[in-house]
Amino acid sequence: MRMKTLFASCLLAALLFAGMVTVAAEVVSFRRSYGGSVDDITMDIYVDSNGIYTVGFTTSFGPNTPNAFLTIFNSDNSHRCSVALDLGASDEARALTFHNNKIYMLGKTTAGSTVPNHFVAVFDTSCNLQAIKLYDIGPGEEPTDIDVEPAASPSFYVVGYQPGIGGFVEKLDSSLNMVWAKNFKVRDVTDVANAVTFSGGRIWFNGCGWNNLHGRLHGGIWDP
C-alpha cells in the first residue's frame, strides 16, 4: 500500500473535473498519535508484511530544526524505531520508496549551495543510516516523489519542480549517483511534478500546472 501527498490545488481540480461524489468514511480500525511537543508532519507511508514505514519532518527533535525523520512501526502497530536526520540546515523528508529491505528517503534541504537542494538517504529496517547523497540541479528545487525500478542493480527516479523553470525528473543509479536530470514543461514554467512510479519499463509522472489562475492536471511518460 502506498499513500501519496497531493497539493490542494491539484486535488481540487481533480474533484471538479471528475465530479466526484462525497461518501461517508468507514470506521478507522486503528489510530496512533506519535511525535514530540512541537510540530511533527508525516509526508509519506509504505506498508509491507514486516512493518509500517513513515517519513516527514519535525521541529520536536534534534538541533537545527526542522529535521527530516523516519519512524517505523511493527506489523502489530507497536513502535520499532525513530530517527531524526539533521544535515545542519532546514531538512524535510518528502517521500520514500522501499527496496530490498532498505528505505530510501527523499528530502529537501537548505544545506549546500544554490539552496534549496534535495537529498536521498538510505536506512535499514532498524532506522540505521546507511548512505546519503546531496543533489544540486539549480535554483529552487522542490522534490516531491521517488520510486524505484526493482532489479538486482536498481535505478531510482525522482520528480519535483523548480519555480519559474517547471518540473524536473532525474535518474539515479544503484549507488545513488545521478545518471541524468531533465527539466520539462507541459504547459509553462508553473508546471509541477507531484508523483512518479516505474512500470512497464517506463517512468510515469503526474502533476499540475496553471492556466488563467486555474490548476490543470497533467501527466507524462519518460523512457529510462
Which pLDDT score, from 0 to 100, does residue 223 have?
Answer: 61
In a domain, 32, yes or no: no
CATH number at residue 66: 2.120.10.10
In a domain, 30, yes or no: no
pLDDT digits (tens, 9 = 90+) for 27-40: 555 555 666 666 78
Distance CA 144, CA 158 (A): 8
In a domain, 33, yes or no: no
In a domain, 215, yes or no: yes
How much is the average pLDDT of 87-111?
95
Sheet bearing 166-172, strands edge to edge = 142-149, 155-162, 166-172, 178-184
In a domain, 197, yes or no: yes
In a domain, 31, yes or no: no
Count the Cβ atoms, other than its own, within 10 Å of residue 220.
16
Q: Whole domain around residue 171: which residue ranges?
A: 2-17+38-222
Candidates 139, 152, 143; CA nearest to 120 is 143
In a domain, 187, yes or no: yes
pLDDT digits (tens, 9 = 90+) for 10-21: 333 333 444 445
In a domain, 29, yes or no: no
Total number of domains in the chain:
1
Distances in Å between the Cα of 72 and the Cα atoms of 47, 140, 152 are 10, 30, 25
Which pLDDT score, from 0 to 100, does residue 39 have?
Answer: 78
Distance CA 191, CA 208 (A): 6
pLDDT digits (tens, 9 = 90+) for 166-222: 889 999 999 999 999 998 877 666 778 889 998 888 888 887 776 655 445 455 555
- pLDDT of residue 66 exceeding 60: yes
pLDDT digits (tens, 9 = 90+) for 37-61: 667 889 999 999 999 999 999 988 7
